[in-house]
Amino acid sequence: MSAAGQFEAFDLDPRLLQGIKDMGFDELFPIQAEAIAPILKGRDLIGQAHTGSGKTLAYAVPMLQNIKPEDNGIQGLVLAPTRELAEQVAGEFAKLARHLRIRAVPVYGGQSINLQMDRLQDPRAKIIVATPGRLTDHMERRTVRLDRVKFVVLDEADRMLDMGFIDDSSFLRDYAGGDRTA
C-alpha cells in the first residue's frame, strides 16, 4: 500500500495529503501509524523513536490537520533543544504545509529577533518551532502570545531536561494544560 493510501485512511485535508505526497513518502512508519490517529482525536501522547523514524511527521500531520487558518494567533508550539533541530522541524512543516495557508516560524537564538518578530506577524503564522531560551525572550518582550495554542510538542524532551531547559513540571503544566494536545 502506498503512503498516500495509508495517510488517506486518516481523512486528511487533500492539500495536506498533497504535501505528504510531494515529500515522496512511500510508506507509513510505525511511529506515524501509532501516533497520528490519537493526536487527531486530541489525545495527549508520549512517543519515542530513533532518529529518521518519522517522528516529526507523526506530530506535524495531525497538528496541521487541526489548525484553523482562519483563526488568529499561534495555534501550535514545538519546542526543540537546539536551533539546528528547530530549523529542521520548521523545514519539514514548510514542506508539509506548502499547499495550506499555514506557516511555521522558526524561533531560536543566533537569528535576528526583529526578523522573527516580522515573521510572527504574518497572518499565516500559526506554528512556532522554538528553542526554549528564544521563546522565553519573545514572551518577555511580549512579541508572541501563546493563549490560543492548541498543540504543544516537546521534541527531544529528554535532551531538553538534560540541558536544563525544563527544570520542573510546572513548565509542562503552563504550556500543555487545559484544552491543549501535548
Q: What is the pLDDT of residues 6-34, one digit of tens each?
A: 898 899 999 999 999 999 986 788 999 99
Helices (H), 41-167: 55-66, 83-96, 113-120, 132-141, 157-162
Q: How far is CA 154 from the centre of its chain?
A: 9
Q: What is the pLDDT of residues 34-43, one digit of tens each?
A: 999 999 998 9
Give the predicted TM-score (pTM) of the model: 0.87
Radius of gyration, alpha carbons of the chain: 16
Residue 49, in any domain of the structure: yes
CATH code for the domain of 126: 3.40.50.300
Mean pLDDT of the chain: 87
Q: What is the pLDDT of residues 142-163, one digit of tens each?
A: 999 999 999 999 888 777 777 7
The pLDDT of residue 1? 43
The confidence band for 174, taking pLDDT boundaries of 50, 70 and 90, is low
Residue 34, in any domain of the structure: yes
Per the structure, the complete domain to which residue 42 belongs is given by 7-177
